[in-house]
Homo-oligomer: A and B are copies of this chain.
Amino acid sequence: MAQPDESRTKPKVVDIHTHMYPPEYISILSSRTEIPLVRTFPSPSSPDPDPRLILLEAELPALEKALQDPSAPIPGRPLTKHFTSLPQKMHFMSTHGIDISVLSLANPWLDFLPASEAGAIAERINASFEEMCSSSSSKEQKLYFFATLPLTSPTETILSCIAHLSSSGSLPHCRGVILGTSGLGSGLDDPALLPIFHALAAHNLPVFLHPHYGLPSAVYGPRAGEEYGHVLPLALGFPMETTIALVRMYLAGVFDAVPGLRMILAHSGGTLPFLAGRIESCVLHDERLVKEGKTAARRRSVWEVLRSQVYLDAVVYSEVGLKAAVDASGGGREGAERLMFGTDHPFFPPVGEEGDRDGEWESVRLNVEAVKRALGEQSEEAELVMGGNAMRVLRLFD
């Protein structure tokens, strides 16, 4: 009966975009010689002896350089405790006033595993997330998770994994699945994925769609890696990958075929809120689609799908972007009901000499401020985005 009024008046803050690598996953990455991998670079000139996490195609040139030349800059990012330690996650939550986190395995998930291994590893990793959630949830801080699917396995293995996720009792903290854009290997518009989407819808498991592969490096030109760091692939490639994946699903009719499917799009939909009008116009003006009756077969516009089957996280780092995401989701209260706050922890930590990873993170502050500025400091809409929507949509009951 302690402080019942305070707990009722203070609205909950929920982080739906927050990643972890459990020990099983780190040991897989550490045994690998191709990306994704974990590797320690014992360079005497290195100020940072941590093992490094190397995930992206864009990081490959730096990796190759570092392997040949110990004085070259260390590639990838430091594999700090923020990626692996549950106490560190709880500390991060306290520091930023987060009451509930919905954890997910970070990219690239199990996309690189052989078919024969993926099923068993997915089971172990999901069990590991369940264990984290059940062991660490307290009165003050609660954890849930989005599960991982063994997408390189045969469809029956994937379907049995989904059935296991939703069976009562075994994984009570699971609230959906995290998916990349590769699907079974040829994208999310692959008809072979429809049974999976049907099963996810039937079991009321929303899909948290997250990018990893970006765009081919050639599009960034010759100066990209060396001079611009990872800005282009992370700032532009990631959001475009998400947008392409979602629009391919839309054009393939997945949303009409599986009306119960719910998607939560990382990074506020990539670029979808801004481009929805152009997408809709390009469909209406495509000579071939119109002649072949393919636009008439569309039962709903991009806007209608955005406002019925799609949710957006609020990881867009600006008031401008946040407003567009709310507007594209229906605007006003209706639009605000479709956005959910996230941090993208442990990515985008403070860097440089003054960067204190144990303190407040600028990347989080940017996203909190975007919500407050776009919707009003203490508005009901801002409270919904900061936590209320996630509580409702993901059924995060006390």
Contacts and interface: CB of A to CB of B under 8 A. Distances in A.
Interface string A209-237: 00000011011111110011111101110
A189 interface: yes
Interface residues of A, number: 75
Contacts of A239: 271, 275, 278
B248 A243 contact: no
Contacts of A291: 351-352
A110 interface: no
A328 interface: yes
Contact of A288 (B73, B287, B289, B323): B73
A247 B236 contact: yes
Oligomeric state, in number of copies? 2
Given A229-B288, A231-B282, A232-B247, 15 more contacts: A215-B219, A220-B248, A231-B289, A235-B278, A236-B240, A240-B240, A271-B275, A273-B320, A274-B324, A277-B318, A278-B316, A285-B349, A285-B362, A320-B324, A321-B324
A126 B95 CA distance: 61
A366 interface: yes
B276 A267 contact: no
Contacts of A281: 235, 317, 348, 362-363, 366
A57 interface: no
Which residue among A232, A236, A275, A286 has the maximum number of chain B CB atoms within 10 Å of its CB? A275
A67 interface: no
Given A235-B278, A317-B280, A366-B281, A351 B286 contact: yes
Nearest to A233: B282
Tell me which of A218, A243, A320, A351 has the highest count of chain B C-beta atoms within 10 A of its own C-beta.
A320
A163 interface: no
Contacts of A224: 248
Contacts of A286: 229-231, 351
A277 B370 contact: yes
A252 interface: yes
A251 interface: yes
A187 interface: yes
A289 B229 contact: yes
A306 to B, nearest CB: 10
Contacts of A280: 317-318
Contact of A236 (B243, B268, B277, B352): B243
A244 interface: yes
